[in-house]
Structure 1
Amino acid sequence: MGSTDTTRPGRGRPLAGAGTSPTGLLDLLSVAAVVLDTNGRVVFWSPQAEDLFGYTAEEALGRYAVQLLVNEEHRDEVVALFAEVMESGTDWAGAFPVRHKNGSTRLVEFRNMRLLDDLGDTYALGLAVDQATVARVERGVALSARLVTQSPIGLAILDPDLRYLTVNPALERIHGRSAADHLGRRVQDVLPFLDTEAIEGRLRRVLETGQPVTDRYVVGRPTFDPHREHAWSVSIHRLEDAAGRVLGVATSVIDITERHEAMIAATRARNRLAMIAGASASIGSTLDVEQTAHELAGVVVPDLADVATVHVLDSVLRGRTPSVTGPARFRAAAVAAAHAPEAARVADPPGELARYDSDRLLTRCVRTRRPVLVAETTRQDLRRIARTSEAASVLERTGVHSYLAVPLLARGEVLGALSLERIGTPASFDDDDTLLACELAGRAATCIDNARWYQSVRNTALTLQRRLLPQLPSRLPGLAIACRYLPAGAVSEIGGDWFDAMRLPGDRTALVVGDVMGSGINAAASMGQLRSATRAFAGLDLDPAEVLRQLDRLTEDVEHTIATCAYCRYDPEQGQCRISLAGHLPPALVRSGRPARLLDLPSGVPLGVGGTAFETTEFAFRPGDQLALYTDGLVETRCDPIDARLGTLLDALTATAGQGLGETCDWVLETLRPPGGDDDVALLVARVEP
């Protein structure tokens, strides 16, 4: 604690074999020793006395102490006091002004006592300390004590065996234990809720190496507050005395729980923003209810919940107005689980109808359109969560301890609910989790609602399209026919393509394939008009070129309508076909026993352009021959050359020439039509019967 003067031999150094090392306290106080004989002469003068009074030993030895050190006005008092000590042997202690060699006067604290040697001679020993030094040490000790006791930082000193020697009041509050519960005990006895093995390992490394540890982050749940995670900043350094002897280790502990909680809150906020951003990118990638539900479940597991189930009301999936009266009927659209296979096993199987009574939490969620949060579930809660008592037992056995259900709300309607369960995640659902789940469920609900309306509109459009397509005659003279129609992948692309086959006078047959440019309901309506007009003109038994001319005049009167068409008239008696094109792709002809080829025909201009004559071409069409009429959606793509696609069509027709016409149509579509194509397709294949 004090400085050691190494300029004097032996000062501040322990003697060999003399026990423990000195503390340095006497050096800090600089205690001076002076011995007087019975006459008051100086017979012993310590080096500290030289420092304190200014006289060397040669100057002081043999002189009267009262003359050397005491001012004249105090000499009588000092002589009387000296005589009393020598006669009675009573010790005297106190502070007294002493004259320094330089002429100044300073207050010195004395402790005087009588000595007796083995010869019976009597002496007086005086121990003296500068009063200013004493006051300085007392102030330092008092200040240190106040700093330790009043410091808001927890402080402790542990001995070399790592047992507590002292703790301050702040550390008592931080640990939730009194000083008496610390003293003499190890860390593992006082703080069993922490990783004490690691803590004592760090303490021992500091004790052995002297390398301090600063601002080490420690987290745990103390026994006095087990439901809240606390955090502390711990620093450790080794304690040594003035001689370098290791006394133990000192630790300082700062409670940073509030800062720790703020950091956790900030991290959670960042994670939630990242989850919402990820959900915006991943949820609703397709207009499909089940796919959207799987995307929602994939976002919330495992970051928000261990098990998630997306329940959609059965009325929503059937295209009806959502309503919940009495028990609720759901179909699980998706189930996701992380490390909880048993809990996922008892969840509602995707696609199956599930009935939840009115007392179930899921029913309450969709009926009230409000979240249902059960932070800590009980056995009774699990029975109201699961659909069956057996499922509730499984949830209890697997350790479901927290539950959250939020409604799927979109455009003011409830479409279902998202149910979440926590098993391995120790924290319970809270209000922040509820807000996040509602945000994610709302985004998914909008996508599910869009998919629902898309499916409804698409089904309506396809119904319209198919209603506009003809019901082909069951029997045509000398011909076998197969037809296929495939809608486009998007609802806005329906309506343009059609095919038809009509029986004409004289056992003749008209074959038609057309394509109204554009898409949507308007294109479908225009297609319906053209198909009806084609049937009317065909009934007049007009030449194919004349039929197209009449259709062209009709189309000119319909604003913004352009269409392509291939009109063919087959005469079984003559074994010939007469055909005319209006801007349409050439048909493919497959002769019996020969490869398919495209007919070389004048292409003409589309219907609605006007002012151009159409040409009719005649070719032989005999038993076994096949003719394929199609629209451009079959062979045109954005990336492939049209010639290559037409070649693929011919190869497909050649490969299926001897098969049934239905099989031929299916193979052609499978070969050429990509899934979810951008355009609808009409295909008609006719074969001359023997």
Structure 2
Amino acid sequence: MSAPRPGGPPEGSPWDEQAPGPLWSEPGTLLEHVAVAVLGIDEEGRICYWGPGAQRLFGHEAADVLSRPADVLFPAAPLDGPPAAERLAERGRTLGYWRARVPTLHRDGRVFDCGFRVFPVTGGDGRSVILGLASESEGLDRVKTNLAFLDALFETCPIGLVMLDENLRYVHLNQALADMDGIPIEDHIGRTMEEFMITSDGGEYRRMLRAVADEGRPVVSTLVVLRTPGRPDRDHVRSVSFFPLSRAVGTRPGVGGLLVDVTDREQALVEAAAGRQRLALLDRAAARIGTTLDVNVTARELVEVVVPDFCDGSVVEVVEWKDEREVFDPDSVLVTRRIAARTCLPPPAPELVGGLESVTYPPGSAIHEALRTGRPVCVPVDDAFMARTVIHRARARLLIDSGLTSLLIAPLIARGTVQGITMFGRSSGWPPFTEQDLSLAGELASRAALCLDNARLYSRVQDIALTLQRELLPTALADSPSVRVAHRYLPGSHATEVGGDWYDVIDLPGGRVALVVGDVMGHGVPAAAAMGRLRITTKALARQNLEPDSLLRELDACAQDAGIAYATCLYIRYDPATGLARIANAGHLPPLLRRRDGSVETIDEVLGVPLGVGDVPFLTTDIELRDGDTLALYTDGLVEARGVDIDEGVATLRSQLGGAEGTLEEEADGILARLLPEPPGDDAVVVLARIRRLGPGTGPDSRD
């Protein structure tokens, strides 16, 4: 017999737990094939506890062994040594814990090798019991061997291995996968796999993993193109296989996976993915750039499209030419105005891109080169670039500290005119700009330049239209002794904000007063010009003392001569001596009349057809106005705003007019606040005229 080892049984003896075992591959989980028995041995060496697993391992019912000597579980003791049960109990009591392999006797007479773990337990009565845990050695060997194999596999396998829980969060992964992701193992644990997989497949990869977890459908050798936060500079192609983990008692469900980087083998797939990403970026640019005719908004849309999907930072700068016909001179200093900037880098990058409004570039700069050739250029952020392009030392220091390592400069040119430049910057986490990137930047810049040019042209036309409209509309309406007027004009907030709404109050011979409101169809300079022509003509005709229907007939002829296809006009002539108001209407919304008692009437006896139609007579109607009555004239922008039905809008105006209190100016403000809580989509006009009778028996208007 070999000499005993210190603290343990002799090597090679039945008590040696280091006996080797084969590698097994079997269905189910490892522990499902290992029965664990729990038994207790009292101070007299008798069995005092028999757990459920003991019957499976030893074959004895509890009633057959309880209170019997524990020697019943072991073969006969050798002549030169103590019985196995006695030795187990003695070692457990003296050492506190003992493990060994012991030949064990099954109820059917079979002898098998069994591993024991024994230790003392003291009960409440002070008595000591030896508690034993026993398992068949062959099964334990298989578990240990397989676990050792799995540990070695996770430690040394060059293929990425991963275990995910049912929420697709990392439970375990090997170093190979961590290296592929470029992120340490510990930073994965507890986070979802989706956080490390940046794909452009519309969520297909995530849905595939979810199907494995929920439906148990394995995935074998599927190719996936992705990027990871640890390696965002390039696309990777991985061949992935996923399978559901077995759901043994006490374990959580989940997903296991094997991932192989096959990027080099699948380079064509990588290039195709990059091409799809460029097309997707162009699609987003087409949808999001140029949604308004506003220069600043268009520039912001460009930088929002490219950051962070194409670069880490971007700016848009426009050249403020004194004369649009001015030709770019590459030998002159260039001054630009920065109108948009965006970056996803930490400070000081935000200060770099957003800290300037006016930028000066010396002759020979990289910006001059891009504008001279009309093509995008790519430059590294180095000393040569600083010397050629950045003239302020403080700005140069910000650029160096920002983390940007390369810039792509694309000219903004439209209709042969230099509009400005856009710059795209990348940090060291990105690969250098490629020829494909330059081509993409050129397409983005071309679209942005066209949109900017359209916005600039529109702004010029809009300025002309606004100036014309302001000059043609009355800035103030003088009160007459018989009519006190409050008026409001609110331009539309849409791109076509200059419209054809107009109004006027005209003093007539004999103390009479004319109230006029009209609307020319269309927007912009043509509508403003047509409106001005009709307003001036109406004023000239009114002072000829024409009847309202005759005036509209002449105005209709003027509209036809001027090519004004559609315009409306409401004309009211009031005589304070008689209290009579004569009304003619060319297709305009009917006026409202609020009596002094608060009741409101709609004067819709005559509506007529719009101006410009021709050969249709206009009718008139007379109403009597009393002291303190209020007439309300308005255009459709007041009652048809934001998709509100026009009848509903008129009803709201009637209600507001009937309940209004205070001065005439306060009433006008209240109407706008009630009917137009937001800027209107179209021009809106409201004219309130408070009537004063000057005939016998009339008194002052106490409401004003």
Decide: shared fold, TM above 0.5. Answer: yes
In structure 1, the partner of 2:400 is 396
What TM-score, normalized to structure 1? 0.57
Alpha-carbon separation, structure 2, partners of 1:358 and 1:391: 18
In structure 2, the partner of 1:681 is 684
Alpha-carbon separation, structure 1, partners of 2:222 and 2:607: 85
Which has the larger Rg?
Answer: 1
Does 1:305 find its partner at 2:311? yes
In structure 1, the partner of 2:293 is 287
Alpha-carbon separation, structure 2, partners of 1:195 and 1:600: 77
Alpha-carbon separation, structure 2, partners of 1:679 and 1:197: 59
Aligned amino acid, residue 616 of structure 1: T
Alpha-carbon separation, structure 1, partners of 2:183 and 2:521: 79
Aligned amino acid, residue 512 of structure 2: R
Does 1:442 find its partner at 2:446? yes
Report the secondary structure of 2:404's partner residue: coil
Asked whether the 8 Å contact 2:641–2:682 carries over to 1, the reply is: no
In structure 2, the partner of 1:620 is 625
Aligned amino acid, residue 438 of structure 2: T
Does 1:467 find its partner at 2:476? no
Superposition pairs for residues 115-264 of structure 1, below 5 Å?
259=265, 261-264=267-270
Alpha-carbon separation, structure 1, partners of 2:323 and 2:677: 29
In structure 2, the partner of 1:477 is 481
In structure 2, the partner of 1:505 is 509
In structure 2, the partner of 1:366 is 371
Aligned amino acid, residue 570 of structure 1: Y
Alpha-carbon separation, structure 1, partners of 2:389 and 2:562: 61
How far off is 1:305 after superposition? 1.0
Report the secondary structure of 1:428's partner residue: coil
Asked whether the 8 Å contact 1:361–1:385 carries over to 2, the reply is: yes
Report the secondary structure of 1:277's partner residue: helix
Alpha-carbon separation, structure 2, partners of 1:362 and 1:620: 71
In structure 1, the partner of 2:63 is none
Aligned amino acid, residue 622 of structure 1: D
In structure 1, the partner of 2:410 is 406
Does 1:634 find its partner at 2:638? yes
Alpha-carbon separation, structure 2, partners of 1:332 and 1:355: 11
In structure 1, the partner of 2:216 is none
Report the secondary structure of 2:353's partner residue: coil
Asked whether the 8 Å contact 2:362–2:389 carries over to 1, the reply is: no
How far off is 1:552 after superposition? 4.0
In structure 1, the partner of 2:75 is none
Report the secondary structure of 1:401's partner residue: strand
Alpha-carbon separation, structure 2, partners of 1:458 and 1:436: 33
2:279 alignment partner, one of 273, 279, 292: 273
Report the secondary structure of 1:561's partner residue: coil
In structure 2, the partner of 1:47 is none
Does 1:668 find its partner at 2:674? no
How far off is 1:338 after superposition? 1.2
How far off is 1:354 after superposition? 3.2
In structure 2, the partner of 1:42 is none
**Which range moves more in the overlay, 515-524 or 538-547?**
515-524
**Which range moves more in the overlay, 335-344 or 557-566?**
557-566
Asked whether the 8 Å contact 1:328–1:358 carries over to 2, the reply is: yes
Query: Cα deviation per residue 1:279-338 (whole Å; 9 max; x = unaligned)?
Result: 1111112222111111110111112111111112233xx894565453222222211111
Aligned amino acid, residue 652 of structure 2: T
Superposition pairs for residues 482-501 of structure 1, below 5 Å?
482-488=486-492, 494-501=498-505
Alpha-carbon separation, structure 2, partners of 1:563 and 1:589: 23
Asked whether the 8 Å contact 1:346–1:394 carries over to 2, the reply is: yes
Structure 1: give runs of 5+ residues left out of the alignment.
1-160, 163-187, 199-212, 220-226, 234-253
Query: Cα deviation per residue 1:70-90 (whole Å; 9 max; x = unaligned)?
Result: xxxxxxxxxxxxxxxxxxxxx
**Which range moves more in the overlay, 437-446 or 332-341?**
332-341
Report the secondary structure of 1:476's partner residue: coil
Report the secondary structure of 1:358's partner residue: coil
Superposition pairs for residues 85-124 of structure 1, below 5 Å?
none
Query: Cα deviation per residue 1:365-412 (whole Å; 9 max; x = unaligned)?
Result: 3354332311x4224424655563222212222322112211112222
Report the secondary structure of 2:337's partner residue: strand
Does 1:647 find its partner at 2:651? yes
Does 1:357 find its partner at 2:373? no
How far off is 1:683 after superposition? 2.9
Asked whether the 8 Å contact 2:479–2:485 carries over to 1, the reply is: no
Cα distance change of structure 1 residues 665 and 342 upon mapping to structure 2, 3 Å threshold: farther
What is the root-mean-square deviation of aligned Cα atoms in Å? Answer: 4.2
Alpha-carbon separation, structure 2, partners of 1:598 and 1:194: 75
Does 1:577 find its partner at 2:584? no
Alpha-carbon separation, structure 1, partners of 2:234 and 2:621: 90
Asked whether the 8 Å contact 1:568–1:577 carries over to 2, the reply is: yes
> How many residue pairs end up in the alignment?
456
Alpha-carbon separation, structure 2, partners of 1:290 and 1:365: 22
Asked whether the 8 Å contact 2:636–2:646 carries over to 1, the reply is: no
Asked whether the 8 Å contact 2:462–2:524 carries over to 1, the reply is: no
Cα distance change of structure 1 residues 688 and 215 upon mapping to structure 2, 3 Å threshold: closer
Alpha-carbon separation, structure 1, partners of 2:498 and 2:512: 31
Does 1:431 find its partner at 2:431? no
Alpha-carbon separation, structure 2, partners of 1:496 and 1:197: 67
Asked whether the 8 Å contact 2:295–2:452 carries over to 1, the reply is: yes
How far off is 1:230 after superposition? 12
Asked whether the 8 Å contact 1:383–1:392 carries over to 2, the reply is: no
Asked whether the 8 Å contact 1:590–1:657 carries over to 2, the reply is: no
Report the secondary structure of 2:348's partner residue: helix
Alpha-carbon separation, structure 1, partners of 2:234 and 2:675: 65
Report the secondary structure of 1:446's partner residue: helix
Alpha-carbon separation, structure 1, partners of 2:589 and 2:286: 44
Alpha-carbon separation, structure 2, partners of 1:600 and 1:664: 23
What TM-score, normalized to structure 2? 0.56
Alpha-carbon separation, structure 2, partners of 1:451 and 1:196: 46
Asked whether the 8 Å contact 2:637–2:683 carries over to 1, the reply is: yes
Aligned amino acid, residue 360 of structure 2: R
Asked whether the 8 Å contact 1:342–1:398 carries over to 2, the reply is: yes
How far off is 1:363 after superposition? 4.5
How far off is 1:456 after superposition? 1.6
Report the secondary structure of 1:284's partner residue: coil
Cα distance change of structure 1 residues 492 and 604 upon mapping to structure 2, 3 Å threshold: same
How far off is 1:548 after superposition? 2.7
Query: Cα deviation per residue 1:603-661 (whole Å; 9 max; x = unaligned)?
Result: 233344434341231221424x4322112232235843322101222344456541452
Cα distance change of structure 1 residues 197 and 477 upon mapping to structure 2, 3 Å threshold: closer
